[in-house]
Every structure is written in structure tokens, then in C-alpha cells.
């Protein structure tokens, strides 16, 4: 079993646990309004949608949202609680949609679940599915190396490192910020497909 399969199994177990604290949910409230205002259209992919918390908030901004997650169990929860959003099972490294489809991709602390090697594949995929000029919001845990938390692999990044990776995949970064919660520091940024 590789790390992606282990992550999927861990996410499946967490899907039904109501007491799970997802620290990145505070980022949603902080950044979603700006994300919506930056879009040139209303078609958005919630990359790593989990049980649909962010997809629901995005939908409330009158956005046409599709949610993608690797965990079928989390997607089943999302489908039960969030109406009017299309949810699909898939891997960030091979997003199962057409090219140039989305005005925006929202990846709120979801790409941290990939190794650096696989993150490069996912960055290419995000670039592929975004329309030219499309907006990419993403957030990352700041640190060095990797760790496993609740059975889930997490890759940590430095700020300069993540910006360099995204630039190398054709993104232009136009805003970035740090946020802290009691446990982690997150680095969030807005980028555009050039």
C-alpha cells in the first residue's frame, strides 16, 4: 500500500467523525470572498473537497462548484449534506476533467497530502484544467520535511520553495500571506495561470 492509499484509508475513517478539527477551515472564511471577487467567471473546482465544507461556502457565492476528493466515503458525506454541487472521486495527480475548464481552483490545505514529487504532477494538472487567466488559491503548512498526522501524510514547505515550484509550472503569484492557528502556520497564496 503506497502513501496515497494509506491517506485515502485514513480520510475514509475520519469522514464520519464530527469532532475532527480541520485547522484549514478558518482559512476558508478568511480567503473565500477575495477568491470569488478575483474570478473572471463562476466555474470552480474545490480540489480536496472532503465532506464539502468549502464547496458549500463557495456555492453560497453563486459559484458553479465541482468538488474532487480521493475518499469515496468523504464524497458520500458531501453528497448527503451539500446540494447543487457535483462531487467526483479522483486523484490530484490526474484530475478527471477537460482542459481549460475552470475559472478558479480552490486547494485549501489539500496539496500538502502529496509528496513533493507528486505535488509537481498536481501543479501541472491544476494548470491544465484552469482557463487562461484562471485563479488558483492554495494553502500549505509551513515547515521542513514531512510528517504523518492522524495516519495522513503531510508535506511541509518553506514559503520561497512553494512559490518557486508554482512559478516553474507557469503560475504568476500575485498575493500571499501567513496565518497561524494554535498548532500550525499556513502559507496561502493567490496565483494566476499565465
Q: Which of 22, 55, 61 is nearest to 42 (CA)?
A: 61
- Which pLDDT value is given to residue 29? 74
Element (H, E) at 177: strand 171-180
Which region, left, alpha or beta, applies to residue 189 given φ > 0 means left and ψ of -120 to 50 means alpha? beta
| Total domain count, the chain | 1
Asked if residue 16 belongs to a domain, the reply is no
> What are the tens digits of pLDDT across the range 134-145?
999 999 999 999
> What are the tens digits of pLDDT across the range 52-100?
999 999 999 999 999 999 999 999 999 999 999 999 999 999 999 999 9
Burial label for 76, CB within 10 Å (0-12, 13-18, 19+), is middle
> What are the tens digits of pLDDT across the range 151-170?
999 999 999 999 999 999 99
Asked if residue 76 belongs to a domain, the reply is yes
The answer, yes or no, to whether residue 28 has pLDDT greater than 80, is no
Q: Which of 127, 142, 64, 126 is nearest to 91 (CA)?
A: 126
The answer, yes or no, to whether residue 4 has pLDDT greater than 80, is yes
Q: Which of 151, 132, 152 is nearest to 194 (CA)?
A: 132
Asked if residue 151 belongs to a domain, the reply is no
- Which pLDDT value is given to residue 125? 98
> What are the tens digits of pLDDT across the range 42-52?
999 999 999 99
Asked if residue 21 belongs to a domain, the reply is no
Tell me the pLDDT band of 150, cut-offs 50, 70 and 90.
confident
**Domain of 115?**
26-142+158-193
Secondary structure in 3-state letters for 95-147: CCCCCCCEEEEEECCCHHHCCHHHHHHHHHHHHHHEEEEEEEEEEEEECCCEE
Asked if residue 17 belongs to a domain, the reply is no
Query: What is the mean predicted confidence (pLDDT) over 3-12?
Result: 92
Alpha helices by DSSP H, the chain: 3-14, 25-38, 53-59, 72-81, 116-129, 159-168
Contact 3/145 with Cβ under 8 angstroms? no
CATH number of the CATH domain containing 102: 3.40.50.150
Determine if the pTM surpasses 0.75. yes
Tell me the pLDDT band of 20, cut-offs 50, 70 and 90.
very low
Residue 21: CB atoms within 10 A of its CB come to 8
Asked if residue 115 belongs to a domain, the reply is yes
Asked if residue 87 belongs to a domain, the reply is yes
- Which pLDDT value is given to residue 13? 87
Asked if residue 5 belongs to a domain, the reply is no
The answer, yes or no, to whether residue 190 has pLDDT greater than 80, is yes
Distances in whole angstroms, Cα of residue 134 to Cα of each of 26, 38, 47, 149: 24, 9, 14, 32
Amino acid at each position: 500500500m503506497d502513501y496515497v492509499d494509506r491517506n485515502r484509508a485514513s480520510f475514509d475513517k475520519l469522514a464520519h467523525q464530527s469532532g475532527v478539527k480541520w485547522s484549514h477551515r478558518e482559512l476558508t472564511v478568511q480567503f473565500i470572498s477575495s477568491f470569488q471577487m478575483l474570478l473572471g467567471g463562476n466555474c470552480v473546482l474545490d480540489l480536496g473537497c472532503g465532506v464539502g465544507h468549502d464547496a458549500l461556502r463557495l456555492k453560497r457565492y453563486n459559484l458553479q462548484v465541482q468538488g474532487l476528493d480521493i475518499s469515496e466515503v468523504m464524497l458520500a458525506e458531501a453528497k448527503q449534506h451539500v446540494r447543487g454541487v457535483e462531487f467526483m472521486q479522483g486523484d490530484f495527480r490526474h484530475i478527471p476533467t477537460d482542459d481549460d475548464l475552470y475559472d478558479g481552483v480552490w486547494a485549501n490545505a489539500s496539496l500538502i497530502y502529496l509528496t513533493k514529487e507528486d505535488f509537481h504532477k498536481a501543479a501541472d494538472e491544476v494548470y491544465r484544467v484552469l482557463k487562461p487567466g484562471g485563479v488558483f488559491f492554495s494553502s500549505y503548512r509551513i515547515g521542513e520535511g514531512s510528517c504523518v498526522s492522524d495516519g495522513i501524510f503531510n508535506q511541509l514547505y518553506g514559503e520561497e520553495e512553494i512559490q518557486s515550484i508554482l512559478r516553474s509550472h507557469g503560475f504568476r503569484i500575485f498575493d500571499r500571506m501567513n496565518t497561524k492557528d494554535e498548532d500550525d502556520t499556513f502559507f496561502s497564496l493567490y496565483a494566476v495561470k499565465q
